[in-house]
Amino acid sequence: MEFFAKTHGVDSARLLTELNAAVENPKLAPAVDYKPSLADSIYRRFFLGAIGVTFTAGALWGVILLWQIAFAGRFTALPINEINAHGHSQIYGWVGLVIMGYAYQAFPRFKHGALWRPSLAALSFVLMLMGIALRVVGEYFAVSIHQGTILLSPLWFGLGMLGSCLELMAALLFVLVMVKTYRTIGKPLETYDKWVFAAVGWFVVGIIGDAFLYYATATAPDRGALVSAVAAYQLPLRQVQLYGLATMMILGVSLRFMPPVFGFADPGEKLYRRMFWPLILGVAASSALFVVMFKTGEFLRVGLAYYAATLLIVVPCLWISLSFRPFGKVTGNDRSIKFIRASHFWFMLSMVMLALEPWYNRLTSQTFSHAYHGAMMHALTVGFISMSILGVGAKVVANLCGEDTARLSRLWLVFLLINTGTALRVGNQVLTDFVPASFNLLGLSGLLILAALLLWALHILIIMYRPRQAAHAMNIESVTIAPQARVGLVLQRWPHTLDVFVKHGFGLLKNPVFRNTLARNVTLQQACEFQKVDLLRLMDDLNEATRERSSAPAQAHSCASLDPGLTVAEAARRYPVTVPVFSELQLDACCGGADTIANAVEHHGLKLDEVMSRLNQAIAKAHS
């Protein structure tokens, strides 16, 4: 309590006096107009920054570069500094900012705690955004070629290096805030946390490596030295950034997020623990061995070792992805599920392409295929990474803003545009090795992807900034204690049940912002799965608490129509005559009777009206 008082700048003695007085005279707190703190909406600035970058130096610039490549008919037509400046903005401006914003917003809440020093988190955003701007502009203007001679501008080069320094400072602040947050909360690290912190470590390594590549390419004395630097260092750097940072972060979050929120299969922490070090070793070894291979010229012996190291990336990634059963039946029906499924399709494809890359080069008699490698990278970056951002972002932002995703756009147009664009990009880029006319469709693929990102961004911005509407009209008295009941609505009908939720570990519900936003869109079942709480015990305690406060006559023997929102078990307890109907339809086998009648009927492919009619007839017959 003393620590809490100090960090919030209040007098500890006065705080304790008021708390003890409140305990001695318990009563419901009056509703207040609660203003969110910086930590409550820290993600917004990062998401907005990511959107701003991707529609300037990121995806928009990428489309322009694609059209230039298409008109030139070759992937090496553009200066490397332009390509790398664009790539840098996408990796750190789009992916990096989203990762930082999501981490600051979500990870403390995963641990039932608060973000340490939100002001430093906000400062890391300013530093990162300034760093990206200086680095991208500096890299673009630092080098020019005049009559075959490479000319370096010290001013622009210096600004680019300053930008890299600011990015490194932002990344180190990110590490500091996250480490201190976890230590302050004091809960032990879970398996997914290790993946997250490994990704954060690769974040720092990648920024340092990116600055080194920038220095090596900008100061290259001639074109031969420039080509050598790019050939030796660019691919290893991308492996650190894309497999180390992005992939490990997404897979780590997926373990914590995908099974409870979207209803995908749970791969289990044991698999993640087994795959952790092989993937770490694969990223580190493949990056180092690639440089050694080029520097020594040992393309056979070192090349075989490099290929073995890449398989240490491929096998864990494919194994984990398949363990989620992304194409199987899921318990949820969220609009984001299709994005997650598509992202895993592109992820698996990129992994297969990575494993087959040396064989493709050999079959096509190439030392290195820009077409194949670029297609593989875009299956990963757009198909997996950006698709994951779109899917999870649509879910998270809606929940944080108190929106029911069932009432929002299903985002089918966004989904179709980005998948069509990705398919055109990946397929036609490989075909350019055989059919030069395939270059003509590359620009179109970029436009489709850009359109998808634009529609998604507009949707997200509208959710963030439109005036908050009053809660959707409904009869609050119809809310029941059922797995599919919304936490926020349960608290709205029975405010005193907050103590029950807190007792079961849902301490974040004490925050009014949390109750009025995320809790409105999370069901009891989702909340229990997410926080690993026994659903039936929570429901028993909630039912006991509501019965104690209720003055209404018992409805156990009412002849009113049965509510499809009741669980199968609760309906059978209230109306024993329904048991034969449930048994005949095998609805009692669904989730041990803990699912709602409506969900159980849907899972079994039955018609709700017909099932409810049979149940109500059985009840009416018993009371006739």
Give the model confidence (pLDDT) of 597-610 as tens digits: 876 776 666 777 88
Which distant-in-sequence residues (6+ apart) come within 8 Å of 466 by Cβ?
none
Residue 624 pLDDT level (bands cut at 50, 70, 90): low
Most confident of 17-26, 428-437, 532-541, 579-588: 428-437
Residues 95 and 187 in one domain: yes
Q: Is the pLDDT of residue 105 over 50?
A: yes
Q: Is the pLDDT of residue 553 over 60?
A: no
Residues 532 and 581 in one domain: no
Q: Is the pLDDT of residue 577 over 50?
A: yes
Residues 372 and 521 in one domain: no
Range of the domain at 331: 324-469
User: Is position 304 within any domain?
Assistant: no
Cα angle: 91, vertex 97, 99; to 5 degrees: 90
For the ranges 138-142, 407-411, 529-533, the lowest mean pLDDT is seen at: 529-533
Residue ending a domain, choose from 426, 449, 469? 469
Residue 303 pLDDT level (bands cut at 50, 70, 90): very high
Two tokens, residue 383: 């198909």
Q: What is the pLDDT of residues 346-385, one digit of tens each?
A: 999 999 999 999 999 999 999 999 999 999 999 999 999 9
CA atoms within 13 A on the CB side of 581: 20
Helix and strand element counts for the chain (H, E): 27, 2
Residue ending a domain, choose from 406, 439, 469? 469
Two tokens, residue 205: 């390594």
Q: Is the pLDDT of residue 280 over 70?
A: yes
Residue 130 pLDDT level (bands cut at 50, 70, 90): very high
Closest CA to 409 of 451, 458, 465, 453: 458
Residues 220 and 349 in one domain: no
- Return the pLDDT at 70: 95
Closest CA to 422 of 466, 389, 452, 394: 452
Closest CA to 516 of 480, 483, 491: 491
- Return the pLDDT at 30: 46
For the ranges 45-54, 265-274, 424-433, 462-471, the lowest mean pLDDT is seen at: 462-471
User: Is position 289 within any domain?
Assistant: no
User: Is position 308 within any domain?
Assistant: no
Residues 539-552 have a mean pLDDT of 74
Residues 499 and 603 in one domain: no
Residues 335 and 365 in one domain: yes
DSSP state of 556: T
- For 540-573, letters b (16+ CB in 10 Å) and e give ebbeebbeeeeeeeeeeeeeeebbbbbbbbbbbe
Q: Is the pLDDT of residue 441 over 50?
A: yes
Across-strand partners of 396?
none
Residues 153 and 208 in one domain: yes
User: Is position 1 within any domain?
Assistant: no
Whether 449 and 422 have beta carbons less than 8 Å apart is answered as: yes
The mean of the pLDDT values for the chain is: 88
Residues 442 and 518 in one domain: no
Residues 379 and 486 in one domain: no
CATH number at 523 reads 1.10.3910.10
Residues 80 and 150 in one domain: yes
Residue ending a domain, choose from 245, 262, 279? 262
Q: How many domains does the chain have?
A: 4
User: Is position 52 within any domain?
Assistant: yes
Residues 498 and 573 in one domain: no
- Return the pLDDT at 595: 63
What is the C-alpha separation between 284 and 286, in angstroms, rounded?
6
User: Is position 179 within any domain?
Assistant: yes
For the entire predicted model, the pTM comes to 0.78
Residues 102-120 have a mean pLDDT of 93
Kindly report the number of other CB atoms within 10 A of residue 138's CB atom: 24
Q: Is the pLDDT of residue 573 over 80?
A: no
Residues 356 and 419 in one domain: yes
Sign of the CA dihedral 143, 146, 150, 151? negative
What is the C-alpha separation between 368 and 371, in angstroms, rounded?
9
User: Is position 135 within any domain?
Assistant: yes
What is the C-alpha separation between 565 and 268, in angstroms, rounded?
31
User: Is position 171 within any domain?
Assistant: yes
